[in-house]
Structure 1
């Protein structure tokens, strides 16, 4: 059998049909077809007339290894790597993967605790008087050390926090316009308003204006922006998100990412076709699936959060998260004396890491009024 899992010269009579091979390997025919398409487990022979796949018995060992690794939850991209290794090196790779799984499980356990707490807060909020909160905040952007233009924008105010990461020929203006469209919410009475509705409608106005004023609808290179924003009224926070900028909350139990990237590489990670390590250097890591873009419909994620005293919220563009590890971000947010010092330290860390992209950071701290 060669390194691609394809059998050496074979005897037609010894080959197994895809059904027989599926039963022997405990992989479904559907899975075998997918693994063939990915080059992970190609058949020994494909009938040129019927297209039927046939497998050699010698391929069963690789197939069973693939099945076991899938039962572990290993992504297909990593399975391909393990299958190319010698047994000793493969054992080391599986052990390293499982160590990462255990670390990720611990992180998900913390996330589950965060979600349970968030849901319990919503129930408590219906029966318990709110503790009046105020918000300290700061925003800072930086062009970075490589980009010839600055296309990130940020805003921090008493009610609104927002970051935007522009792209394309007029990305800087697109990001600025997205933020400005939301800033009108600073002056509105939101005490009895539908926070999510108000935030979403302001963002939709920005999208409609961007569509109406795009310079050349037929241009080969589009212009657009990400947009991540929090709108506050009392203890409630409305979150709107589209693109690959991010929002985090820092609590006693840790730092939690409360947005999900709308990017090609994140979708591949979600499908198990790419590992987070591979995503960092993927040639299409900047490709967005959703954004505030004149050529696409605007479909943001929306959620309502309940804030507590002592929490810190971070909104940032990928110029920070692309070069500064989450652990380092958490340490900086925890150690900073106030939001202003926090944003300055985060920008410093991005520049220290080379700052290949523009950077925008907003930090807010909830305190008892």
Structure 2
């Protein structure tokens, strides 16, 4: 079949000539022939399928570098000219690697959108409070009552977890690798310093961003002594309290839960390979629970990525009297059945008794990993 001019190809593919020239320069969609004298580009009809895929992926907002990866995965063996050969064309369906790539991208978009949605909701609420000052004066003051407990478990020789509960800071870190205990302690220590640094009104997220960056640098300093620093690091799930709100930071597979009005809900998203497969529809939650790679992290504070602000999730939560928060390492959440976890958290009792009960539940299940948890109750202040 004959060659198509760039104008004809642009019309057929719904890509502008300007976009086609850019994609040629980037190696994403090279023309079949370039006139050596005029530099005019020509395409073959078999390239239309790739061009249309590029156009669709651009409408999704996918970056060009990632579009190239998806297109290469979708390309039949032997190049575009093999597309009509049934012997070389890849089978369509759920097992196609290009399908997984698109699902993975969209799952990440939805996760990022969910985090931004919660922040947007907070900002709309914050900016619409015309009588915020008066509300602050008339609303009953709140306080938190909290407790933390960390246990080595019944199998591990050492404890690489850290659990901390203070007047303003709650934190759980689960270290891994040769200096995991030191990495977790370094990250939590950065957040402990916030106890003496009250956050200005409206600046909770700014304070949290700075703390995450400093925690990443602290962990990087600890892991630098390792031959493979990227293989040592820590998860971190922490909350900063200002008297009316809790700012949450999360990276890794430690978790945060909220008990409100008798309903226990998880408010963090695991940053693991298996959770990504669940998000992509490749695994069910039931399959994920017993998957051999369920603890394989895709995000953490470590000597490689450093846990930049773009990797850690941060959000704000308005506190209510009666709320109960649980922060825990996967030594608890991955071992204790969900119904038992819910029963222990919803039971009446002081935080000290609840954390002791949670650790005991993990030990009854064999406690194959370190177990750490923090429980914090939001109450009306007696002052």
User: In the alignment, is residue 209 of structure 1 matched against residue 209 of structure 2?
Assistant: no
Change beyond 3 A, Cα 1:336–1:357: farther
Q: What is the RMSD computed on CA atoms of the aligned residues?
A: 3.9
| Alignment counterpart, residue 367 of structure 2, candidates 334, 348, 355 | 355
User: In the alignment, is residue 258 of structure 1 matched against residue 267 of structure 2?
Assistant: yes
Q: Distance in 2 between matches of 1:212 and 1:356?
A: 29
Change beyond 3 A, Cα 1:157–1:249: same
Contact kept, 8 Å, 1:161 with 1:231, in 2: the verdict is yes
Q: Distance in 2 between matches of 1:236 and 1:220?
A: 36
- How far the C-alpha of 1:250 sits from its partner, in A, is 0.1
Q: Helix, strand or coil: the match of 2:231?
A: coil
Change beyond 3 A, Cα 1:47–1:123: closer
Contact kept, 8 Å, 2:148 with 2:164, in 1: the verdict is yes
Structure 1 segment 43-62 matched on structure 2, within 5 A: 51-52=82-83
Number of residue-to-residue matches in the alignment: 289
Contact kept, 8 Å, 1:121 with 1:306, in 2: the verdict is no
- How far the C-alpha of 1:123 sits from its partner, in A, is 7.1
User: Could you say which residue in structure 2 is the equivalent of 1:182?
Assistant: 191
User: Could you say which residue in structure 2 is the equivalent of 1:60?
Assistant: none
User: Could you say which residue in structure 1 is the equivalent of 2:279?
Assistant: 270
5+ residue gaps in structure 1?
Answer: 1-33, 38-45, 57-62, 68-74, 77-113
Q: Distance in 1 between matches of 2:120 and 2:357?
A: 31
User: Could you say which residue in structure 2 is the equivalent of 1:337?
Assistant: 349
CA displacement, residues 140-169 of structure 1 (integer Å, 9 cap, x when unaligned): 011111112210001001110000000001
Q: Distance in 1 between matches of 2:297 and 2:376?
A: 27
User: Could you say which residue in structure 2 is the equivalent of 1:166?
Assistant: 175
Q: Helix, strand or coil: the match of 1:277?
A: helix
User: Could you say which residue in structure 1 is the equivalent of 2:13?
Assistant: none
CA displacement, residues 257-298 of structure 1 (integer Å, 9 cap, x when unaligned): 111111111111101111112212222222111111111142
User: In the alignment, is residue 138 of structure 1 matched against residue 147 of structure 2?
Assistant: yes
Change beyond 3 A, Cα 1:268–1:312: same
User: Could you say which residue in structure 1 is the equivalent of 2:239?
Assistant: 230
Q: Helix, strand or coil: the match of 2:375?
A: strand
Q: Where has structure 1 moved over 6 Å in runs of 4 or more?
A: 46-49, 53-56, 114-121
| Alignment counterpart, residue 153 of structure 1, candidates 162, 187, 203 | 162
Q: Distance in 1 between matches of 2:198 and 2:79?
A: 70
Contact kept, 8 Å, 1:243 with 1:262, in 2: the verdict is yes
- How far the C-alpha of 1:121 sits from its partner, in A, is 6.6
5+ residue gaps in structure 2?
Answer: 1-69, 101-117
Q: Distance in 2 between matches of 1:176 and 1:47?
A: 53
User: In the alignment, is residue 285 of structure 1 matched against residue 294 of structure 2?
Assistant: yes
Structure 1 segment 109-124 matched on structure 2, within 5 A: 122=126
- How far the C-alpha of 1:203 sits from its partner, in A, is 2.4
Contact kept, 8 Å, 2:173 with 2:254, in 1: the verdict is yes
**Greater CA drift, 276-285 or 243-252:** 276-285
